[in-house]
Structures are given as C-alpha cells and as structure tokens.
Chains A and B, each alone.
Chain A
Amino acid sequence: MPLRLCVGLLVNAVRWLLILGWIGGPLSLAQAQAVNDTAVKAVFLLRFGSFVDWPPSAFERPDSSLVICIAGDTALAETVRRAARGERAGARTITTRWIESAPPRTGCHILFAGGAEGQDVAESLHDVSGSAVLTVTDARNGNARGIIHFVISDRRVRFHINRSEAEQNGLRIDSRLLGIALSVEDSSMRGSR
C-alpha cells in the first residue's frame, strides 16, 4: 500500500513537471493528453475559437482579441493562462480572464462556467444566455450544460455540443467540430453520436 502511494505521488510529480515543461514550450496535445485532463481541457478551450464563428457584433474591431473567461476552476484558469501565450484563434490573439464572481454579460467570447464563488454553474449560464458567448461546462461540476459540455469518456476528455443553443446565441459551429462531438443536440433533430 505505501508502495502504491509512493508510485502515485511520483507519477503526479512527473505529470506536473511535464505540464510545466510543456507550457514553456509549444503546444502539444499528445503531451497534454499524457499529463492530465485539465491540460487537455485547457488546450480544447483555446482551440474552440478556431471552430466557432461569432457574429461580427461580438467584437469591437475585426482584429480584437478573443476573450476566454474561466469562472471558478482556478487550476484550469492558470493552465489556460499559461497555455494561451502565443496562441491565436485565426487572426485574433487570445486573452484569458479569470472570473471570481458573476461573469459580465459582455466581454467574454468563451465562458467556462466552473461554478464561481456565490454563483453556481446554472446561474452563470443563465446570466449569459442569449448573448454571443460559447458556454462551456464540465460534467465534474454538475449536470448543468452549456453549449459544450466536457465529459470523460473512455478515459479521455470528450464533449457534447448543443447546437440549437449555439444558434440561439448567434454562434456558428464548424461541422468538423460537430463531427468529433460525442453527441450533438439539435433543434430540428435530436441526434446522438
């Protein structure tokens, strides 16, 4: 038993070393996958921007930064902040923002609703509903679902997509992203992959 504990600690230490090493260098998903789910989710959050079209009104200027807001989950927020260095979503640079309390109605393009202080996930989602925000939730934080909902499937980070809600928010999701989702909830037809 103590041996297993030791090994577990060692593995964890190696993982974190790897994370730090990876964050310093270029982004490698395979490396991230090998390290832990948080790193994978961070990379996913950074990459969603390339597969989603926001309405032009969501940005002040055509080359304004894409703002990723992370509510609650500090570990994720930190990982994303480090990983976002030098990352782009198309022509836009990526800015990350950690939100402690209720998220603002504007300013965020991607909102990871991790349950901020004094506000649960559902409330966060409700606050931004109808505005051009790609909401992301995690099965780890409850059953409330945003447009993208992270789950662990076959020991890998995967996600569901709610396309109808995205459309309601004025977002267009690339069909290739829909193609790799575990399921796509649609207003016209309810399909599951």
Chain B
Amino acid sequence: MTRPFRWSRSWDVSRYATALAVTTAAILLAVGVIGAWMSERDFRSQKMQQAQAHARVLAASVSAALAFDETPEAEQAISALRANPEIGAVGIYGPEGVPFILRGNETRDPPLMLSEGTAPHYDSGSAIATAPVMQAGQQLGRVYVELSAGSGPAQWMRYVGVALLLAMAAVLVGAIAIGQRSLAAANKELARRAATLTQANAQLTDEMAARKKAERALAQAQKMEAIGQLTGGLAHDFNNILAAISGGVRLIERTGDPDLRAQVKASLADAIERGARLTRQLLAFARGQNLEARVTDPCERIVAMVELLRRSLGEDVGVDTSFPGLR
C-alpha cells in the first residue's frame, strides 16, 4: 500500500501551489494599489500645475482691470477662463485679499478673503491655485482658481484600471481555490475508490483460497469414495474366494471320498488361483509390480476384468463386453 503516500505528497504540492497563487495575488494587489496611488499623485500634481497656469494667465490679464476697477473687463477674463468646463470657482482679490470679483459654481465658492500664503493644494476633487496680480513689479492683488479634477464617473474612470487588476487577482485566487478544492475532492474520491478496490481484491483472494480448499476437500472425498467402492468390491470378491476355500476345506475334512476330495482340491486350487490373480491385478493396478511379458488372450482378460469393474463401479453402472471378430 504505497498509494496513500503518493496521495499525501500530491496534496502537499497543491498546497504549495495555493500559497504561491495567494502570494502572487497579494503582490498584484500591492502593485495595483501602489500604481493607483502614484497615478493619483501624478494626476493631482498635474492638475495643480494646470490650476497654477490658469491662475497666472488670469492674473496677467486682469491687472489693469483690477488697478482701475474695470469690473466688466475682469468679468470678460473670467468668462474666457470659464469656457473651460474644468474651471470651477474663480476669484479676483485686491490688496490684502479684499474681494474684487468672486464667481462660484454649484459646488464651491471662492473664499471671501484670500490669505496671502495660500499655496496650491488639492481639496475634495479640485486643484486650487492662487497667483499674484503683478504690474511693473508691484503686486496689485491675487487671483484664486479652482480646477475641478472631474466629477463622478470621470473620477472613477481613473480607478478602473486598478479595479480591473484587483478583479483579475480575485478571479485568479478564486479559480485556484475552486481548482484546488475540486482536485482535493477528486483525490479523496480516488483514494476512497482505491481503498474499496483493495478491499474487494482481498475478499476475492480469500474467496479464491476458500474455493480452492473446498475443491481439494471435494476431490479428497471423491477419492475416498472411489477407494471405498473399490475396497468394498474387492472385500466382497475376497470373501467369496475365502468362502469357497473355507467350504472346500470343511468338505475335505468331512468326506472320505477321494473323487469328491480331488474335485474339491481342484476347486480350491482354482479359488486360490483366482485370489492370486486378484492380488496380481491389484498390484498391477497400483503399479507396484513389474508387468510380466507373456502371450495372453485379451478377450479372456477383459472378461476377467469385467467382474472387478462390476464390483468397483457399483450396481448402478452396467458393463457390457463385445469382441466382434475375435470369438
């Protein structure tokens, strides 16, 4: 039974495969998250640069409007800027952050006062930048520009790549887990079947041994039966011979008639001869005696054998002889 060992070894290999798959999935996930973080960071810095560029352009174009309080001119500059749908709230501030023109949108309004040190930053999906309004090296004020980083679907679209990567990792892990589970189930089933088969085989071997034993016992019994029949027949034959001898001997004792005695003696000799013949036949049958080469009459021998056969085969088997062309 070396099979269980093999099963357990393959089970270990599959367990390593699972660990490897999980590690790979974890690495993929980590790479995805880092990639997303980096792309988000790049995206934000890019948006902040764009917002700053817009703020500088606006600041450069509104200096005269701010210096001479020309609201329509500043409004025009803001409208031109807001032709870009990404531009959200825009504000132009005079000296010390006092508002000159503030234009908000539905999500955000520019601050009412703009502090001097407002650095470009990223706030809830928008890049915010400010730029000083300069004229001849003099600061006249500041502008505030909010650049939307794209709302809703546009924002989510940026994460689709990462989501796909995660989904792929999840599918991979799931597939491996399912594969491992079904493989383990198949292995278990296979082991169960192998055990059943082994058991059946052992049973079969046992049954075969029992059958062989029974057959041997049957053959022995048949042999004994044959021997019994043979010995029974022989005993009967010998009894007949012995009875003839015993009767002859008793007759010789009683009678004084020499003729009858001679007749009985001849009969006795015949009976003894038959006994000797029977013994010889038995010896020949048992191959205990070397066969004697001599001229013989096969018909006479067959007839002599018929008696033996009849006695050994029993009464329910008839023995007929015929010698066509010989008698």
A residues bordering B, Cβ < 8 Å? 26-30, 33, 40, 44, 47, 49-51, 88-91, 156, 174, 176-177, 179-180
Contacts and interface: CB of A to CB of B under 8 A. Distances in A.
Given A28-B94, A30-B98, A180-B70, A51 B135 contact: yes
Contacts, number: 56
A177 B64 contact: yes
Interface string B48-74: 000000000000010111011110010
B255 interface: no
Contact of B94 (A30, A91, A180): A30
B136 interface: yes
Contacts of B137: 90-91
Given A29-B69, A44-B68, A180-B73, A51 B136 contact: yes
A89 B138 CA distance: 7
Contacts of A88: 138
B96 interface: yes
Q: Is the interface of A mostly helix, strand, loop or mixed?
A: helix
A49 B138 CA distance: 11
B69 A26 contact: no
B111 interface: no
A174 B94 contact: no
B275 interface: no
13 contacts: A26-B95, A28-B94, A28-B98, A29-B68, A29-B94, A30-B94, A30-B98, A44-B68, A50-B67, A51-B63, A89-B136, A156-B69, A177-B68
Nearest 8 pairs between A and B by C-beta? A90-B136, A176-B64, A50-B136, A180-B70, A50-B135, A47-B67, A90-B137, A29-B69
Contacts of A180: 64-65, 68, 70, 73
A28 B97 CA distance: 11
A177 B67 CA distance: 9
A51 B64 contact: yes
B211 to A, nearest CB: 118
Given A88-B138, A177-B64, A33 B69 contact: yes
A148 B70 CA distance: 16
Max chain B C-beta neighbours (<10 A), residue from A50, A51, A174, A176: A176
Contacts of B98: 28, 30
Max chain B C-beta neighbours (<10 A), residue from A28, A30, A50, A89: A50
A30 B94 CA distance: 9
B63 A176 contact: yes
Contacts of A30: 69, 94, 98, 100
A128 B289 CA distance: 175
Given A49-B136, A179-B73, 16 more contacts: A29-B68, A30-B100, A40-B69, A47-B67, A50-B67, A51-B63, A51-B64, A51-B136, A89-B136, A89-B138, A90-B135, A90-B136, A177-B64, A177-B68, A179-B64, A179-B65
